């Protein structure tokens, strides 16, 4: 009977122990679940690489690359005809206006007559010089014969002196004739120069375009007297080339270089235009503290001088390690992020770079694949344990 009693007691003890073990295990599971549910759920973002663009924002007005003013090259002549108007596209050398030629043609007639007179004077002077040289040669021969006869005693001293005086006088007349001929030739050259000047002025009565381009203004009026000291008769844009004269913040100016691409957004425009930096001015305005970059417009037909344009200048484009902007906070030493490792938050100092949209480049502090709090430490502190929730984007 004792063995049966022992077995019964053993089963009774086991029956009591098993429910107690089960209750203990259930209590431990409930405690762990309760602990997990009490950790704050914080949105985190994984550090990754993405293509980012560094841009400089600027704005300004469209203006000609080069404006050319057309003024008359002669003054005092009335304007007889205008052959071009605002908006016309002209070629180099094209006649834009015609001035009166009446006065100049009268002057040309006068100088033409003076030219004929000067030529006649030259002919007369040449004849006189030829006659004077002939007389001088004859006087010299007479002088030589008389001197020879005087040496032989066949001629008197008075005859010798007379022959010598005549030779000297004839030689002087040759000199006068030569000088008269030179004066006549000088007068001819003067008249020819005056005539050439009148011809030049006549050619300048046609006011021509110095370069090819588009006319933007016309101040000339038919009947008015042309003058180079007043307003230009025409103003044109050389080759129709336009550019954006963009104002740039002083802090951004040194980041710009010629050749950098830009997107140009016009007021009311649907599609942005393209362009590139042609020139960066070397000075900064003392009052506004703004510099200026000149951006060539690739399609100048789509803009007009005076338009206001916003520009996005592409400074750099590269693939970098980046985090959301909201993940970066600030501290005394600089920028920081809240890095998450095994559910534990730690504040890590970082160095930032390009900011593009809602992302910012991290150049030092975290690596690709690290996890950071998506919204920088507003609800967590260094050393907190959290329940990380991956960001949806």
Bin 166: left if φ > 0, else alpha if -120 < ψ < 50, else beta: alpha
- pLDDT (tens digit, 9 = 90+) per residue, 173-191? 889 989 999 999 999 999 9
Alpha carbons within 13 angstroms on the beta-carbon side of residue 18 total 6
pLDDT at position 37, please? 54
Q: Please state the rounded mean pLDDT for residues 361-375.
A: 90
Q: Chain-wide mean pLDDT for the chain? A: 85
- pLDDT (tens digit, 9 = 90+) per residue, 215-255? 999 999 999 998 888 889 999 999 989 999 999 999 899 99
Flag whether pLDDT at 193 surpasses 90: yes
**What letter would DSSP give residue 268?**
T
pLDDT at position 24, please? 45
Residue 196, class by beta-carbon neighbours within 10 Å (0-12 exposed, 13-18 middle, 19+ buried)?
exposed
pLDDT band at 12 (very low <50, low <70, confident <90, very high): very low
Q: Euclidean distance between the first and final Cα of the chain, in Å? A: 76
CB 82 within 8 A of CB 226: no
What's the CA dihedral at 105, 109, 115, 116 to 10 degrees? Answer: 150
What six digits make up the tokens of 75?
A: 């003054």
CA angle 16, 17, 22 (to 5 degrees): 110
- pLDDT (tens digit, 9 = 90+) per residue, 322-362? 999 989 988 777 899 999 999 899 999 999 998 888 899 99
CB 380 within 8 A of CB 42: yes
List of residues 6+ apart from 268 with CB closer than 8 A: none
Q: Please state the rounded mean pLDDT for residues 28-41.
A: 57
User: Per CATH, is 57-63+242-318 categorized as 2.40.30.170?
Assistant: yes
Flag whether pLDDT at 2 surpasses 90: no
- pLDDT (tens digit, 9 = 90+) per residue, 269-302? 788 999 999 999 999 999 999 999 999 999 888 8
Nearest to 354 by CA among 307, 392, 322, 332: 322
pLDDT band at 393 (very low <50, low <70, confident <90, very high): low
In this prediction, what percent of the chain has a pLDDT beyond 90? 55
Flag whether pLDDT at 45 surpasses 80: yes
- φ/ψ of 249, rounded to 5, equals -60, 145
Task: Give exposure, 68-84, as e/b (b: 16+ Cβ within 10 Å).
Answer: bebbbbbeebebeebeb
Distance between CA atoms of residues 111 and 193, nearest Å: 10
At the top level of CATH, the class of 74-99+205-236 is mainly beta
What six digits make up the tokens of 151?
A: 């040496």
Rg (CA), the chain: 52
Distance between CA atoms of residues 346 and 377, nearest Å: 10
pTM for this prediction:
0.64
Fold of 41-52+319-390: 2.40.420
Q: Please state the rounded mean pLDDT for residues 16-22.
A: 41
- pLDDT (tens digit, 9 = 90+) per residue, 115-170? 999 999 999 989 988 988 898 888 888 888 888 887 887 778 888 888 888 888 88
**What letter would DSSP give residue 226?**
P
CB 345 within 8 A of CB 386: yes
CA distances from 32 to 28, 157, 208 (A): 6, 161, 95
pLDDT at position 376, please? 62
């Amino acid at each position: 009977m004792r063995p049966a009693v022992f077995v019964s007691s053993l089963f009774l003890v086991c029956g009591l122990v098993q429910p107690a073990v089960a209750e203990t295990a259930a209590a431990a599971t409930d405690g762990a679940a309760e602990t997990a549910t009490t950790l704050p759920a914080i949105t985190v973002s994984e550090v990754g690489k993405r293509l980012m663009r560094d841009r400089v924002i600027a704005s300004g007005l469209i203006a000609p690359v080069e404006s050319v003013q057309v003024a008359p090259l002669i003054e005092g002549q009335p304007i007889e005809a205008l052959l071009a108007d605002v908006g016309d596209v002209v070629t180099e050398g094209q006649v834009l206006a015609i001035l009166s030629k009446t006065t100049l043609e009268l002057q040309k007639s006068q100088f033409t007559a003076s030219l004929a007179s000067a030529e006649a004077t030259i002919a007369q002077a040449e004849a006189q010089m030829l006659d004077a040289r002939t007389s001088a040669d004859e006087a010299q021969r007479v002088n030589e014969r008389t001197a020879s006869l005087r040496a032989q005693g066949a001629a008197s001293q008075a005859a010798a002196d007379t022959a010598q005086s005549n030779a000297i006088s004839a030689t002087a007349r040759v000199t006068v004739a030569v000088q008269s001929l030179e004066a006549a030739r000088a007068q001819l050259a003067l008249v020819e120069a005056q005539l050439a000047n009148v011809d030049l002025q006549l050619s300048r009565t046609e006011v021509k375009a110095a370069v090819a381009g588009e006319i933007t203004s016309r101040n000339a009026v038919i009947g008015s007297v042309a003058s180079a000291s007043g307003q230009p008769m025409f103003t044109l844009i050389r080759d129709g080339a336009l550019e954006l004269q963009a104002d740039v913040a002083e802090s951004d100016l040194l980041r710009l270089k010629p050749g950098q691409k830009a997107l140009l957004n016009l007021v009311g425009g649907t599609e942005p235009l393209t362009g590139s930096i042609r020139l960066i001015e070397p000075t900064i305005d003392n009052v506004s503290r703004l510099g200026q970059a000149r951006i060539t417009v690739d399609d100048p037909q789509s803009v007009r001088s005076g338009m206001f344009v916003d520009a996005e200048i592409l400074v750099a484009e590269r693939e970098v390690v980046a985090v959301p902007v909201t993940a970066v906070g600030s501290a005394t030493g600089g920028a920081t992020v809240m890095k998450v490792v095994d559910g534990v938050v730690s504040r890590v100092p970082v160095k930032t770079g390009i900011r593009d949209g809602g992302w910012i480049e991290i150049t030092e502090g975290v690596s690709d694949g690290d996890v950071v709090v998506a919204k920088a430490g507003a609800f967590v502190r260094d050393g907190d344990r959290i329940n990380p929730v991956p960001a949806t984007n």
